[in-house]
Amino acid sequence: MDQALIRADRVTKKFRSGETDLVVFEGLSFEVSEGEQLALVGESGAGKSTLLHLLGGLDEPSGGTIYYGSRDIFAMGDAERADFRNRQIGFVWQIQSLLPEFTALENVMMPLLIRGVERERARPEAMQRLEEVGLAARAGHRAGELSGGEQQRVVLARALVTRPRVLLADEPTGNLDHRTGERIIDLLAELHRRHGLTSVYVTHNLGFARRCDRILELKEGRLSPVPAVSAPGGAAGETGSHV
């Protein structure tokens, strides 16, 4: 885990609020090593989700940039960056983002279909990912027919169906009860290892953060390293508002 896969270089994010700029954070610089599991912690409203969106190229910084290897993702055009996200990054959100009119299998297939992969090729790849998260038997069920934990496992399968190098997860246990959340944490750790991922997690779950390789706390616009034994946090499964 010596080589940096992700590098944030003096990243700033501001929002216009009336006549003034609301500065979420300014001049953040840090690296995520290849193969690392990094936890981002901090109080609700600190800007953790905003930072994760920037790392995923879903939003643009007000200043600075983010590199994947030597590639500046904000030097890419919109179409190129969207293709980069589709191929290189898997996303897991706190609120299950499954399309309710589609089955679990169809939801997992979606990133491949968006890429232009034929359904005949996308289907077995998606089924393999569902098998990996223990949901092959539920492949034909729609989101509303699945429990919260099952929905989150489908989201994990969908995140991995494109075989990404990076997994970005925003409160992946936030809406789950403690026992189900612990199972998702175990599954995340196993999938991280099995797929050779580089993973960044936004979390309020102290136990989850302590299981990662490194913890960074975002507080008052600054990032600080936190020893795992003294990591700040709330109760397991606690959720926070997004900035």
Q: What is the pLDDT of residue 2?
A: 61
What is the tens place of the pLDDT at every residue in 194-209? 999 999 999 998 899 9
**3-class SS at 166?**
strand
Residue bearing the bigger pLDDT, 75 or 21: 75
Q: What is the dihedral angle through the alpha carbons of 111, 38, 10, 164, rounded to the nearest 10 degrees?
A: -20
What is the tens place of the pLDDT at every residue in 76-122? 999 999 999 999 999 998 766 799 999 999 999 999 999 999 999 99
Strand partners, 122: none
Q: Rounded distance, CA 65 to CA 71, Å?
A: 10
Is the residue at 237 inside a domain? no
3-state helix, strand, coil in the chain (%, to 5): 40, 30, 35
Which alpha helices (H) appear in the chain, and where do they start and end? 48-55, 78-88, 104-115, 119-132, 148-160, 178-195, 206-210
Q: What is the pLDDT of residue 237?
A: 38
- Is there a contact between 29 and 9 (Cβ–Cβ < 8 Å)? yes
How far does Cα 62 stand from its chain's mean position? 21
**How many domains does one find in the chain?**
1
Is the residue at 182 inside a domain? yes
Q: Rounded distance, CA 36 to CA 115, Å?
A: 27
Look over the chain and give the mean of its residue pLDDT values, rounded to a whole number: 90
Is the residue at 238 inside a domain? no
Q: Which of 206, 199, 243, 200 is nearest to 226 (CA)?
A: 206
Is the residue at 236 inside a domain? no
Q: Which token pair is 224?
A: 């600080």
What is the tens place of the pLDDT at every residue in 147-169? 999 999 999 999 999 999 999 99
How far does Cα 239 stand from its chain's mean position? 15
CB contact set of 222 (below 8 Å; sequence gap of 6+)? 25, 28
CA distances from 81 to 66, 88, 101, 159 (A): 12, 10, 28, 17
Is the residue at 92 inside a domain? yes
pLDDT, average across residues 6-23:
92
Is the residue at 115 inside a domain? yes
Q: What is the pLDDT of residue 230?
A: 53
Identify the domain containing residue 200 by its residue range. 4-230
Is the residue at 241 inside a domain? no
Full-model pTM: 0.89
pLDDT tier for residue 242 given thresholds of 50, 70 and 90: very low
The DSSP 8-state label assigned to residue 146 in this structure reads S
Q: What is the pLDDT of residue 170?
A: 95
DSSP per-residue codes, 93-125: -SS----TTSBHHHHHHHHHHHHT--HHHHHHH
How far does Cα 225 stand from its chain's mean position? 20
Is the residue at 20 inside a domain? yes
Residue 10 sits in a domain whose CATH number is: 3.40.50.300
Pairing of strands 89-92, 71-72: unpaired
